[in-house]
Amino acid sequence: MVYCAAPSQTQHPTWSSRHSWFVHQSVIDIQLQLKPLKLPFWVQELEFIQFLELLQPWFQINTIYTHYFAVMQHSRKALNEVEQFCTQHHITLTQLPHNGLLPNQSAPLPPGQPAPNWLEHFKNHLKQPLFNPNLNLIQTPHLPAPLTQQLHQYTPAKNWGKPDKTFKPDLPFLQPGATHAQHLLHTFLQHRASGYKKNQTSAHLSQTSGSRLSAHLTFGNISLKQIWQQIRLQNTPKALQPALTAFKSNLLRRAYALQLFEMHPQLEYQNFNYAVNGIRLKWNQDVFDTLLAAQTGFPLIDAAMRCLIQTGFINHRLRTLVMAFITNHLWLDWRKATPVLAQLMTDFEPALFFWHTQTAANCTGLEPIFLPDPAAEAKLTDKTGIFIKQWLPVFAHTPGGLCGNPALMSALEQQLYHLEIGKHYPKPMVNLTTTTQYALANLQRIYQKNLAKKETARLASVLPLPAF
């Protein structure tokens, strides 16, 4: 068995050493499972097409089985090269859609034939039996010595799989490997789900009451079908039913984003709604660096950035808040911000990431204009200030209700709580009232145009949002 750490992936602007770390540790987990069976597992730093070219002179390859993913442009290019290789060498390429993905139809359907129903297809996929291979039946071919020598040339460097020094994952919730994915699912269904519905928007409590399976889903340690069927088989107490219903709804949202990305791969680099193409044309690196340094002057934003930089994870609501702040209040282009944020997120899943990014940036037209106030969000998601205090120790003596909005403190209170704005903590980098008015005026002006209304209506009809 071989894992190809493709340079086209590991050198992509959205990839970072924390992704390599998660993959490396997941591979080690597989190796431990295979060890009793004495099955070798190689890790090679080469493209899959290169691996096939190395094998071709030594083995007759009849069929290649692959999963069909909703992937980014560079991965689509790599897949196209494999398809061409298979055609050239008369190899059957069988692609199995992953997580109920319905392959995009490039050719028009015959007259009278209805378009495939994605939601029906996805639900049918979840009902299909799981494939549990018997590893004892696997037979590995003997590799000729010259081929082994060639493969050794592609052995990854010793530091491959080692994360950057700033990365300190919150173990055990971000422990890689299929074994740990199953453990997380088990503990979630047994007891952690009890707080899921109530705490999924909480900046602090969502860290433990969420499923925390996102990275495992991204890197294939577990599938939506496995999770869905485990929920169905679970003898769940009635008290947990509402929480699991909310959880399944979010799994469906994930599947929807994957399908949408398959149908609209340009989400990676183009505005979903072309009506907004003329805005946010300038980039200010100094402004963006202030955000990365967690010095915006908005405590919930800064705490979220520190948490993300250190642990590689923040909940969906905080991600949405950060991206909405970048694009609407700082008025920066999401396309230049996304590679950096993607590198920080250990669970970076392109389909979800770009769809949620464009929704937060108000680039779809399918949702009401969203311009969140960080102070108001802090009041909703961090009422006691525990999350802000955890990541911004300067707020240690500040009452919880004031942590999210220090502007409410008088000069006397600032002295009393050892938190003088402009001295111990930066002043807000922008005037939120001004930025909100500016963004709202520009977005309303665009979406009120007939052209934008027509395009929005067209987009809404392509893949209607299911009833979550």
Question: 324-342 pLDDT, tens per residue?
Answer: 999 999 999 999 999 999 9
Residues 426 and 377 grouped into a single domain: yes
What CATH number has the domain bearing residue 443? 1.10.579.10
Last residue of a domain, one of 241, 262, 283: 262
Confidence of residue 404 (pLDDT cuts 50, 70, 90): very high
Range 85-113 average pLDDT: 80
| 358 vs 232, more confident | 358
Structure tokens belonging to residue 389: 């205090």
- What percent of the chain shows pLDDT beyond 90? 78
Report whether pLDDT(249) > 70.
Answer: yes
Residues 183 and 246 grouped into a single domain: yes
Report whether pLDDT(113) > 70.
Answer: no
Element (H, E) at 312: none
Strand residues in 111-215 grouped as ranges (E): none
Query: Domain for residue 140, yes or no?
Result: no
User: Tens digits of per-residue pLDDT, 133-145?
Assistant: 888 888 888 889 9
Residues 310 and 447 grouped into a single domain: yes
DSSP class per residue in 21-58: HHHHHHHHHHHHHHGGGT---EEE-S-HHHHHHHHTTT
Residues 443 and 395 grouped into a single domain: yes
Report whether pLDDT(160) > 80.
Answer: yes
Residues 199 and 84 grouped into a single domain: no
Report whether pLDDT(468) > 60.
Answer: no
- How many domains would you assign to the chain? 3
Beta bridge partners of 94: 65
Own/partner pairs, 158-162, CB within 8 angstroms, 24+ separation: 160/5, 160/20, 160/24, 160/45, 161/20, 161/21, 161/23, 161/24, 161/25, 162/17, 162/20, 162/21
Structure tokens belonging to residue 208: 């433990």
Query: Domain for residue 412, yes or no?
Result: yes
Residues 230 and 284 grouped into a single domain: no
Confidence of residue 173 (pLDDT cuts 50, 70, 90): very high
| 103 vs 375, more confident | 375
Structure tokens belonging to residue 376: 């108001």
Report whether pLDDT(98) > 90.
Answer: no
Query: Domain for residue 435, yes or no?
Result: yes
What CATH number has the domain bearing residue 96? 3.40.50.620
User: Tens digits of per-residue pLDDT, 36-76?
Assistant: 888 888 899 999 999 999 999 999 999 999 988 899 999 99
Confidence of residue 400 (pLDDT cuts 50, 70, 90): very high
Residues 221 and 79 grouped into a single domain: no
DSSP class per residue in 220-256: TSS-HHHHHHHHHHS---GGGHHHHHHHHHHHHHHHH
User: Tens digits of per-residue pLDDT, 421-439?
Assistant: 999 999 999 999 999 999 9
pLDDT value of residue 467 = 65
Last residue of a domain, one of 262, 290, 313: 262
Residues 252 and 280 grouped into a single domain: no
User: Tens digits of per-residue pLDDT, 271-285?
Assistant: 999 999 989 988 999
Query: Domain for residue 338, yes or no?
Result: yes
Confidence of residue 115 (pLDDT cuts 50, 70, 90): low
Residues 211 and 320 grouped into a single domain: no
| 67-81, 107-121, 331-345, 360-374: the lowest-pLDDT one | 107-121
The sign of the CA dihedral 156, 157, 158, 160 is negative
Indicate the burial class of 101 (C-beta count within 10 angstroms; 0-12, 13-18, 19 or more): buried
Confidence of residue 363 (pLDDT cuts 50, 70, 90): very high
Confidence of residue 111 (pLDDT cuts 50, 70, 90): low
Range 430-449 average pLDDT: 97
pLDDT value of residue 104 = 78
Residues 290 and 434 grouped into a single domain: yes
pLDDT value of residue 83 = 95
Task: Give the range of the structural domain holding residue 228, as residue numbers without chain letter.
Answer: 178-262
Beta bridge partners of 63: 92
Residues 256 and 398 grouped into a single domain: no
Is the CB of residue 194 less than 8 Å from the CB of residue 154? no
If you average pLDDT over every residue of the chain, what do you get?
92
Query: Domain for residue 138, yes or no?
Result: no
Last residue of a domain, one of 262, 286, 313: 262
Report whether pLDDT(108) > 60.
Answer: no
pLDDT value of residue 286 = 98
Report whether pLDDT(109) > 60.
Answer: no
Residues 302 and 405 grouped into a single domain: yes
pLDDT value of residue 241 = 87
Query: Domain for residue 19, yes or no?
Result: yes
